[in-house]
Structure 1
Amino acid sequence: MDIGIGLPGHAPWTDGRTLVEWARRAEARGFSTLSVSDRLVWNTPEPLVALAAAAGATSRIRLLTSVLLGPLRAGHALFAKAVTTLDQLAGPGRVRLGLAPGMREDDFTHGEVDYGTRGREFDRLLDRLAAVASGDDPVGPPPATAGGPALLFGGGSAAALRRITTHGTGWIAGDATVEDVQGFTPRLRAAWEEAGRPGSPTVIASVMYALGPGAHDAVERAIGSYYAFAGEEYARYGVSIAYTRAEDIAAAVGEFARIGCDELIFMGNDPDPAQVDLLADAVGL
């Protein structure tokens, strides 16, 4: 199982150069992937811009949106152009897009995008991206990766399964527990087989972490406020399942590998770049 790391984009960072330093350290320490999350009404960096900066600061580590809220990108052709441009900047095979329709209505209100039709717009965006990536559309540049970056989808709905089997290479589970992954993967693999897709879908899980003496406080600050929209109980739950001890992180690697995850990504909650090295030490990189 591969081990990736996520930028602390939802945490209280104040200098974008810190995120670039995370990217450099993540590659130097041997992480498989650098991921970045997405929200509009928050201090989260725009994912494609952040990964473009990371692409310029690195040469090997894979780059992943985890997850990008597709329907907020109302200009489908412009979005496709941004994706293929990022793919060119990074080089073949480095960029993967984790995508989801989004659940925060305020993101859509401030983005001036209709929340009620987001599923339909998401499907239209995917069709346009596929046309551009395959060269069947005049929008350019062409991607460096043949056919365009691999797509993964978040969520557990029937629509998510449909998008995985028609457009995607697999599933990405955010803030996941072992039980979450075990509960969904049988449906995923059955849908994949029913659609006649060869091989197996990729399964990626992401979890929250912070390490060091201030780990719990960092998690409280970052996750508690980030998930406050869903109520105190949900925010408390998010804090409670975050990993703040090296021994628990090592155990999580073993458990997620045991249930067949292809990759486990630890999302940062403390902007200090030293967190990259603490995590690398904990997972044995």
Structure 2
Amino acid sequence: MDIGIGLPGHAPWSDGRALVEWARRAEKRGFSTLSVSDRLVWSTPEPLIMLAAAAGATSRIRLLTSVLLAPLRTDHALFAKAVSTLDRLAGPDRLRLGLAPGVREDDFVAGEADYGTRGKRFDLLLDRLAAISAPGDPVGPRPATPGGPPLLFGGGSAATLRRIATHGTGWIAGDATVQDVQDFVPRLRRAWAEAGRAGSPRLVASVMYALGTDAEQAVSDAIGPYYAFAGEEYAQYGISLAHTSPEQITTAITDFERIGCDELIFMGNDPDPGQVDRLADTIGL
């Protein structure tokens, strides 16, 4: 199982250079993937811009949006151009897109995008994204990765299963538990087989983490406000799921590998780049 790391974009960061340093250290220490999350009504960095900076600071580590709120990108041709440009900057086979429809209506209000029709727009965006890889498309550049960056989809709906089976290479489970993955995988494998897809869908899970003497406070400061929209109980539940000790980190790796995950991504909650080294030391990278 691959082990990736996620930028602490939802945490109270202030210096963008520290996030670029996260990228440099993540590659140096041997993590498989660097991921970045997405929200409009929050201080998270714009994912494609953040990954462009990371691409310029690295040369090998895979880059992932986890997950990008696709229906907010209402100009589909411009989005396709941005993705293919980033794929060119990163080089072949580095960029992967994790995509989801989004659940926070305030993101769509701020983005002047209709919340109720986001699923339909999502499907249209996927068609336009595929078109930019085809010869003769007037929008360029062509992506460096043949066929364009692989797509992973987040969520647990029937529409998510359909998008994975028709457009995707797998599923990405955000802030997940082992039980979350186990509950969804039978439906995923059934949809994959019914679509006649060869092989198996890729399974990627992400969990929250912070390490060190201030780990629990960092998690509370990052996750509490971020999940406050859903109420105090949900925010506290999110905090309780975070991994704040070496023992929790190693147990998570064992448990997610046991159920067949292809990759586990530890999402940072403390902007200090030293968190990259603490995690790498814990898991032996």
- TM-score category of the 2 structures, normalised to the smaller one: over 0.9
CA distance in 1, matches of 2:61, 2:244: 25
Give the SS at the match of 1:67: strand
Offset, 1:74: 0.4
1:99 aligns with 2:102: no
Match of 1:165 in 2: 165
Offset, 1:185: 0.5
CA distance in 1, matches of 2:134, 2:274: 41
Offset, 1:134: 2.7
Runs of 5+ unmatched residues, structure 1: none
Normalised TM-score (structure 2): 0.99
Give 2:110's aligned amino acid: H
Offset, 1:247: 1.1
Offset, 1:136: 5.0
Match of 2:242 in 1: 242
RMSD: 0.6
Offset, 1:158: 0.1
Match of 2:178 in 1: 178
Give the SS at the match of 1:236: helix
Offset, 1:282: 1.2
Give 2:199's aligned amino acid: G
Deviation per residue, 1:86-129 (Å, 9 max, x gap): 00000000000000000000000000000010000000000000
Offset, 1:283: 1.3
Match of 1:146 in 2: 146
Give 1:7's aligned amino acid: L
Give 1:102's aligned amino acid: G
CA distance in 1, matches of 2:63, 2:38: 14
CA contact (8 A) 1:38 1:67 kept: yes
Match of 2:209 in 1: 209
Give 2:36's aligned amino acid: V
Give the SS at the match of 2:164: helix
Give 1:211's aligned amino acid: L
CA distance in 2, matches of 1:167, 1:100: 13
Matches within 5 A, 1:115-154: 115-154=115-154
CA distance in 2, matches of 1:135, 1:86: 19
C-alpha distance 195-136 of structure 1, shift in aligned 2 (>3 A) = farther
Match of 2:88 in 1: 88
Give 1:87's aligned amino acid: D
CA distance in 2, matches of 1:195, 1:134: 23
Match of 2:218 in 1: 218
C-alpha distance 116-136 of structure 1, shift in aligned 2 (>3 A) = farther
Give the SS at the match of 1:133: coil
Deviation per residue, 1:175-228 (Å, 9 max, x gap): 000000000001101100010000000000000000000000000000000000
Identity of aligned residues (%): 78
Normalised TM-score (structure 1): 0.99
CA distance in 1, matches of 2:170, 2:133: 18
Match of 2:187 in 1: 187
Match of 2:59 in 1: 59
CA contact (8 A) 1:134 1:148 kept: no
